[in-house]
């Protein structure tokens, strides 16, 4: 395709003219703590998701776009009347803030050329990017034969039920762009199983287990209540903790048949479960410590050793599934939630597998492990891998657009995360992140689903420029 430098230059001029307004809108949208939930509001994903959707729809309407509210499951903003329909699929819900933030979670903080706050990257910036890109294409007369729609989802982080409803109610665009990853172009997403294992424990010392904050986050903390005999009570009372120790111990002051109740908390490092290698699972930290306690029976030690392995290992090796490939990377499997009810422990797992494995292989391995070790297995999410052809013409067009605007070279890639792309017929993950990490935040901070989620102002502006140019290029290509 013949690229026109004037298009990207005009796009940049347009962005600069609207930049302060764009940042103000992003500040206001990030300030809405739109963590999806079930509450008493009467709305499908809670009143905060309602506030976030109302905000973007009102903004789009003020800018002259057509808007539609899909019962607070999703919203749409559209422009154009051409024969081709192009969609940009964003979402306004976010994951819970979690622990360990240095900066306020639901407030945009500008620091050294970066914005910090939950949603500045995943995915509120993309929602506003879509609105600004549509306005630019309209105002700069960059399209002749396309209708463009921005989709604003409200349940992307909790199962994508919003998109299921949209697909039942609306005609799917012939091409869907998903700005929920990074540049240049994502051509594959791992398959996903969300499953739980449960069984009765031999360990009668445990009266409560609580760990995890969401089904797609490596737990930053986990807690048990433990009834200690006299030997264990002395050990826990005298336990010497150094500043780096991830274990906290508190005597609850309760006695039960000569046993002393202690509350023991393990601390880890939060990350997206799709990138579990960046985190440290607090469930594993906690059970690893408990395994070392004195005066445990052999059965109790065996129980805790298994819970340690299930909580600590992130590569699926415990199930015999460790593997990886060049495009999608390594399989990941994280315990994301843990609980105990009436002596029965339940552990929820988020497993992401590359396309070199077949769905049945993964399912069989999980069933075999459960049967061999006395667990009950429940499969809750079963989503196959999403893969595009490396030679796809639109994939190449989008890559060339990114390269044209940025002057960079890169490679097509796959991810462990799951986006709307996996549920759409023809969808391509395209930005908006450039992959740069915030240089002044400590390790474990700045990424999606982690504390102090951050995006550079340069990346924010450049991503909008790329999208405006891409919509012009798509219109010409089609």
d(CA 410, CA 435): 11
Q: What pLDDT shows up at residue 19?
A: 98
The CA-based diameter of the chain, rounded to the nearest angstrom, is: 81
- Structural element, H or E, at residue 465: helix 457-477
Q: What pLDDT shows up at residue 255?
A: 75
d(CA 120, CA 101): 14
d(CA 261, CA 267): 20
State the residue for tokens 């059965």: 299
Q: Find how far residue 425's CA is from the centre of its chain.
A: 21
d(CA 445, CA 433): 16
Q: What pLDDT shows up at residue 99?
A: 85
- Structural element, H or E, at residue 252: strand 247-256
pTM for the whole structure: 0.81
- Are the beta carbons of 93 and 157 closer than 8 angstroms? yes
Q: What pLDDT shows up at residue 284?
A: 97
Continuous H helices in 123-219: 124-139, 161-169
What residue ranges of the chain have pLDDT lower than 70?
none
- Are the beta carbons of 287 and 304 closer than 8 angstroms? yes
Q: Which two tokens stand for residue 304?
A: 């805790």
Q: Which two tokens stand for residue 391?
A: 């030679």
C-alpha closest to that of 178 among 150, 158, 155, 138:
150
Q: What pLDDT shows up at residue 23?
A: 98
Q: How far is CA 41 from CA 37, 70, 157, in A?
A: 10, 17, 19
**Other Cβ atoms within 10 Å of 324 Cβ, number:** 17
Q: What pLDDT shows up at residue 30?
A: 98
C-alpha closest to that of 453 among 212, 126, 113, 106:
106
d(CA 274, CA 100): 20
């Amino acid at each position: 395709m013949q690229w026109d430098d004037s298009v990207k230059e005009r796009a940049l001029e347009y962005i600069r003219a609207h930049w302060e307004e764009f940042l103000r809108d992003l500040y206001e949208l990030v300030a809405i703590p739109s963590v999806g939930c079930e509450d008493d509001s009467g709305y499908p994903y809670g009143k905060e998701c309602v506030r976030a959707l109302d905000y973007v729809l009102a903004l789009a309407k003020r800018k002259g776009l057509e808007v539609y509210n899909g019962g607070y499951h999703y919203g749409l903003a559209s422009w154009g009347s051409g024969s081709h329909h192009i969609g940009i699929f964003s979402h306004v819900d976010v994951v819970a803030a979690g622990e360990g933030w240095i900066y306020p979670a639901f407030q945009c903080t500008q620091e050294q050329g970066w914005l910090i706050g939950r949603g500045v990257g995943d995915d509120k910036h993309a929602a506003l990017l879509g609105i600004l890109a549509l306005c630019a294409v309209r105002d700069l007369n960059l399209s002749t034969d396309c209708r463009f729609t921005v989709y604003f989802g409200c349940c992307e982080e909790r199962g994508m039920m919003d998109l299921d409803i949209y697909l039942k109610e609306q005609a799917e665009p012939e091409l869907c762009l998903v700005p929920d990853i990074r540049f240049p172009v994502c051509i594959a997403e791992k398959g996903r199983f969300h499953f739980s294992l449960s069984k009765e424990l031999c360990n009668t010392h445990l009266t409560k287990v609580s760990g995890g904050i969401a089904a797609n986050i490596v737990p930053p903390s986990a807690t048990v209540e433990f009834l200690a005999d006299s030997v264990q009570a002395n050990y826990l009372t005298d336990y010497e903790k150094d500043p780096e120790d991830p274990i906290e111990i508190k005597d609850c002051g309760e006695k039960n048949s000569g046993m002393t109740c202690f509350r023991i908390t393990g601390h880890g490092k939060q990350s997206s479960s799709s990138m579990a290698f960046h985190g440290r699972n607090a469930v594993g930290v906690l059970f690893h410590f408990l395994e070392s306690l004195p005066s445990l029976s052999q059965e109790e030690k065996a129980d805790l050793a298994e819970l340690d392995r299930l909580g600590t290992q992130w590569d699926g090796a415990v199930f015999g599934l460790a593997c990886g490939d060049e495009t999608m990377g390594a399989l990941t499997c994280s315990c994301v939630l843990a609980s105990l009810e009436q002596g029965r422990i339940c552990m929820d797992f988020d497993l992401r597998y590359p396309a070199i494995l077949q769905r049945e292989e993964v399912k069989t391995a999980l069933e075999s492990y459960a049967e061999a070790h006395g667990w009950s297995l429940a499969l809750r999410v079963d989503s196959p891998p999403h893969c595009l052809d490396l030679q796809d013409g639109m994939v190449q067009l989008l890559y060339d657009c990114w390269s044209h605007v940025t002057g960079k070279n890169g490679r097509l890639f796959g991810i462990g995360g799951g986006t709307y792309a996996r549920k759409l017929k023809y969808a391509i993950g395209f930005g908006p992140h450039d992959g740069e990490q915030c240089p002044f935040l400590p390790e474990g901070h700045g990424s999606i689903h982690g504390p102090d989620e951050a995006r550079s102002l340069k990346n924010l502006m450049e991503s909008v420029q790329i999208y405006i140019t891409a919509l012009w290029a798509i219109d010409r290509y089609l």
